[in-house]
Structure 1
Amino acid sequence: MTDATTLPLWIGTYPAPGAAPGSGEGIWYVAVDTADGSVRSERLATTLPSASFLALHPSGRTLYAVSETSAGTLTAFRLEEPGPDGMPVPAVSGSVPTGGDDPCHVLAREGDAWVANYGDGVASSVAVDPATGDLAAGSVATHPGAGDGPVADRQAGPHAHFVADAGDHVLVADLGADVLRRYPAAGAAAGAEGEIAAVLPPGTGPRHLVELPDGSLVVVGELDARVHVLSREGDGWAPASSTPVCAGADAGSDFAAHVTLSADGSRVHVGVRGSDVLAVHRVRYLDDGAPTLEHLADVPLGDGAWPRHHAVVRVGHGADETGAGTELVVVALQGRSELAGVRIDLATGAGEVVSRHRLPTPPACVLEA
C-alpha cells in the first residue's frame, strides 16, 4: 500500500542478459520511500517484450509502453481497477505497430502519442482519445529521418532517439544525423519531412534533452560525451556552449544517457554510462542572459552500473534552517539490474547512493505513477 511517505513508480525493463525479448521482462510497479529512497514493495504489473520506455497520458488513465524490438509496437494499458497494493492493474486497451524498428522513446500528449524508432530513424505518431488516452482508430503516421554523421559505427544513418513536447510542435533528437527535427504536433501528414530546428556539432549524437525556463535547450551528446546548451535563434535553436558531461569525460568510453531538470530549474542531472555516474551541473546565466552549465559533482553509481534512465522523485527533503535541502533521484541501473536511490545536496550538487534494489530484469525507465 502507498501512503504519504511513499511514491509509486512504474519501471520499464529489458530482457535479462542473453535472453530473448518476451522472456519475463515487462512493467514493474514499485513503491519508493521518499525519506530514505528504499523500495517498500514491488510487483510485476504486466509482462511485455523489451518494455524499454513508458509514458503516462495526461489524464492518468492510460499507460503507454514501447517494445524495443525490430518491427516495434506501442501498447496502451488502461489504469482503472486498483490491485491489492492500491495501485491500478494495467489492462491492455490497444496495441499498434510503431512503423519503425527498435522504438526507444514515447511521448504522451493529450491528443496523440509520439514514438522515436532508433533502428531506422522513423518518428511516428498515433492519435489518442483526449479524455482517456485510448489509441484511436486509424493508421500510424510515420516520418522517416535522413542524414548521417562522422561516427562510422553509430551514424551511418538516422537514429531517432527522443521526442520532446514543444507546444504546437514536437522536437525529435536524431542521434545519427546530429540534428533536432521539428514536426507539427497535430496533423503532420505521414511521410512529411521535419524542419531542421537545430544542428549540433558533427559527432555529437544528440540523445535526450530538456527545456530551460528561458526556452533554451540542454541536449546530451551520447557520442561526444558533452552537454550542449542551445539558445533560441529565430524560430529554432543554435549551439551556445557545451561542457564535458562529467569529470574526465572521454568520447568513445563515456556515453550520456538521460537528462533531467530540477524543479527550480537551477540544475540538470545526467546519467553517464562508462564512468557510471550521475553528473550534476548548475545552470548559470551570463551577463548577457545566455545560459551556460557549470559542472558541480559526479555521484558514483557502482561498477558496471550503466545508468539508462532516471527520475527526480522528491525535492526539498530535509531542509535545514538555511533553506538548504536535498532531492531524491531514482536511477535505473541496467548493468546491475538495480534501482538506485541517489540523494543530492541542493546547494553543492554532491550526492550519494542511499539505497539499492535489485529487479529480476534490467530496469530501463523510471516513471512517476
Structure 2
Amino acid sequence: MTFPPAEPASSDVRRLWLGTYPVPGTASGTGEGVWRVDLDVAAGRFDGARQVVVTPSPSFVALSPDERTLYVVGEESSGTLSAFGVDGDRLEPLGTVPSGGADPCHVVAAPAAVWVANYSSGTFTTVPLDGSGAFAGEPTVHAGEGSGPDADRQEGPHAHFVVATPDGTAVWVVDLGADVVRRYRVTGDGAGTAPAGTAVTLPPGTGPRHLVFGAAGTAGEGFAFVVGELDDQVHVLALRTDDDGLLAAAPVAAVPACVTPGPEGVGSFPSHVALSSDGSRLYTAVRGPDVVSVFDVVRDPGGVRLVHRADAPLAGVWPRHFAVLDAAGGDVLVVAGQDSSTLEALRVRADGATEPLALLTLPSPACVVERRILEG
C-alpha cells in the first residue's frame, strides 16, 4: 500500500484525541494513555502526535457537547471514569469516579450527564455533571440481565455501547451478551436515567456491539443499524414510537458485514459502525479481514436497504474503531489499528472505493474522536 507524498501544510487540519490499550504483551498501567494527533487532510499527513495523559487502559474517550471537556474510561476490573478540561492541546484533570462496573468500554457525554457502558459487569452508569463539566452527585448504576447461545461470549450481560435517541428522550444501551438493546428514559434536567424496557431484541447469537441512528426518529420513517460482532452481520432496524412516547425498533433485514473472509482460524468480527456525513453511506470496520466495508444506504418506498460497494483493505491490523471526517472531496476515515499499533487515514471516493491518505505508528490505538474546535 502506497501513500501520497507530503504536500505543503494546508488550513484543513483536524485535531484528533485517541484512547489506547496496553501494548500487546504488557500489563495495564505500564504507559498507555490519551494521545493527541493532528491530521492535515490536504497534505496527507499526521502531525504533532504526542501522549498527553498517562492513564491505564483508556480504551474510549468522549468530548462534551461544547468540546471543552474530555471523558476517559479506565477499562479495568475496577472501572473508572475521568474528566479532563481541554486547554488547547493540554488536558487538565477535573476528577475521577468509579465507572459503576467492570471494564468500561464506551462513554458518551451529554450536556448534563456522562453515560458509560461496563462490558464485563453488563452495567450501564449515569454520572451527573455540573455546569463546568465536572462530576456532580452520585452515579446511578443500572444492572443488565440475560445471556445468549454463545457460551464463551454470552454467559451474561455485556453492555458495549451507549447512544442517545435522535429526539434526546432516551438512551439505548447495546448488550452483546444478551442480544438486546436496552432503553432508559432521560429524567429531570437530563442528569438522570430510568429503566424503560427493551428497545429491540436481536436474533439469538447476534452479539450486538455498536449502533448508529439513520433518519430522524419519527414513526414510520426512522431507521438504525447495529453490527453483530458474533454473527458478522449488519442489522437494519425500523424505528417506531411506542405508547410511552419513546422510540423502539424491530429488525427488518441483515446483510454480511463484509465480503472479504477472515483468515482461517480467526474469523470475522465487526467492531464499529458509522454513517457518512450526508447519511448516504454506511461504514463498518471488520477485524479479522481487517477492512472497512462501504455500503450505500438506499431508501425504497418500503424502507431502507444496504448495497455493498467495497471492502477497503487496511494497512493496520484489528481495526477497533474509526472516525468519519467531513472533508472536501469526500469523507475521510481515520482508523485505529489496535494490534498493529497504527493510525491510518483513508479518503472515500465517489464510487465507494478508498485510497490511502496517511499512516502513523503509535501504541495500540483503540478509539478516535475529532475535536472541531481548535482554539483553547
**Same fold, TM-score > 0.5, yes or no:** yes
Per the alignment, residue 63 of structure 1 pairs with 70
* Structure 1: gaps spanning 5 or more residues: 81-86, 318-325
Per the alignment, residue 337 of structure 1 pairs with 341
Residue 358 (1) aligns with residue 361 (2): yes
1:287-336 Cα offsets, whole Å, 9 max, x none, are 22x0111111000013x61001000123332xxxxxxxx32110000011
Task: Tell me by how many angstroms 1:248 deviates.
Answer: 4.3
1:147-206 Cα offsets, whole Å, 9 max, x none, are 011111100100000000111110000000011111012359999645101011111111
% identical aligned pairs: 47
Q: Which residue among 360, 367, 370 is the counterpart of 1:368?
A: 370
For the structure 1 residues 252 and 171, does the alpha-carbon distance in structure 2 shift closer, same or farther, using more than 3 Å as the test?
Answer: farther
Per the alignment, residue 115 of structure 2 pairs with 114
Distance in 1 (CA, whole Å) between partners of 2:304 and 2:327 is 23
The correspondence of residues 113-262 of structure 1 with structure 2, limited to 5 A, is 113-129=114-130, 131-136=131-136, 138-166=137-165, 167-186=168-187, 193-214=195-216, 215-235=222-242, 236-248=248-260, 253-262=267-276
Kindly provide the amino acid, as one letter, of the partner of residue 273 in structure 1: R
Distance in 2 (CA, whole Å) between partners of 1:234 and 1:334 is 38
* 3-state SS of 1:339 partner: strand
Distance in 2 (CA, whole Å) between partners of 1:35 and 1:328 is 11
Distance in 1 (CA, whole Å) between partners of 2:240 and 2:185 is 19
Distance in 1 (CA, whole Å) between partners of 2:132 and 2:351 is 42
Q: Which residue among 310, 315, 326 is the counterpart of 2:327?
A: 315
For the structure 1 residues 128 and 182, does the alpha-carbon distance in structure 2 shift closer, same or farther, using more than 3 Å as the test?
Answer: same
Task: Tell me by how many angstroms 1:232 deviates.
Answer: 1.5
Kindly provide the amino acid, as one letter, of the partner of residue 205 in structure 2: G
The answer to whether the 8 A contact 2:186-2:192 is kept is no
Structure 1 stretches of 4+ moved >4 Å: 187-194, 248-252
The answer to whether the 8 A contact 2:124-2:141 is kept is yes
Distance in 2 (CA, whole Å) between partners of 1:293 and 1:351 is 18
Kindly provide the amino acid, as one letter, of the partner of residue 117 in structure 2: A
1:235-258 Cα offsets, whole Å, 9 max, x none, are 210001110000045797110001
- RMSD over aligned Cα atoms: 2.0
The answer to whether the 8 A contact 1:114-1:123 is kept is yes
The answer to whether the 8 A contact 1:27-1:45 is kept is yes
**Range with bigger deviation, 261-270 or 214-223:** 214-223
The correspondence of residues 288-299 of structure 1 with structure 2, limited to 5 A, is 288=302, 290-299=303-312
Distance in 1 (CA, whole Å) between partners of 2:93 and 2:260 is 45
For the structure 1 residues 189 and 341, does the alpha-carbon distance in structure 2 shift closer, same or farther, using more than 3 Å as the test?
Answer: closer
TM-score between the two structures when normalised by the length of structure 2: 0.88
Task: Tell me by how many angstroms 1:353 deviates.
Answer: 2.4
Per the alignment, residue 352 of structure 2 pairs with 349
* Structure 2: gaps spanning 5 or more residues: 1-8, 217-221, 243-247, 372-376
The answer to whether the 8 A contact 1:277-1:299 is kept is yes
Task: Tell me by how many angstroms 1:286 deviates.
Answer: 1.7
